[in-house]
Amino acid sequence: MTQLLLSKIKAADLAPLVRIQEQGMGAYPWLQVEAVPITEAEQQQLTPIEIRLLRERTLLMNEATVWARAIYPLLLLAERESIQAWVQVELSAQYKHFSIAGIADSVVGYCLEIDGIHRAAFIPEKIGFAIAAA
């Protein structure tokens, strides 16, 4: 069985195994930024992030610095009720002729409680792509 790592995979590695169907971006509610209500408390958290990013030369920042100054704070602001942000999330899937595994930098998704344990639910079809085994 072929084992693929997300950190090393190339499109050519997938070609003999799957058919990728790009579905583009959907009309997801979170993309309608005008309709997303921002509370005064959230705006107070957003303002220093915006100011810092506009003032700093972000092109000179390394990846960890960008994550620390912008992405992590914004992920926290994205959380609502059962929707949570997670970082360094292990992903894996088994198919008939191959397996794929790796670590996602971050995901935002529903947090489910199963048998008293919090688990993140991540459904690729919900974000606009699907992989069909060949």
Amino acid (1-letter code) at residue 99: S
Q: Are 120 and 131 in contact (CB under 8 A)?
A: no
Give the residues across from 4 on adjacent strands. Answer: 100
Q: What is the pLDDT of residue 113?
A: 67
Task: Please write the tens of the pLDDT for every residue from 16-36.
Answer: 888 888 877 788 776 787 877
**How is the chain split into domains, by residue range?**
2-133
Which pLDDT band, with edges at 50, 70 and 90, does 127 fall under?
very low
Tell me the Ramachandran region of residue 10: left when phi exceeds 0, alpha when psi lies from -120 to 50, beta otherwise. Answer: beta
Task: Please write the tens of the pLDDT for every residue from 82-107.
Answer: 788 888 888 888 888 899 899 888 88
Task: Please write the tens of the pLDDT for every residue from 35-79.
Answer: 778 889 999 999 999 998 888 888 888 999 998 998 999 888 888
| Beta-carbon contacts of residue 13 (< 8 Å; ≥ 6 apart) | 4
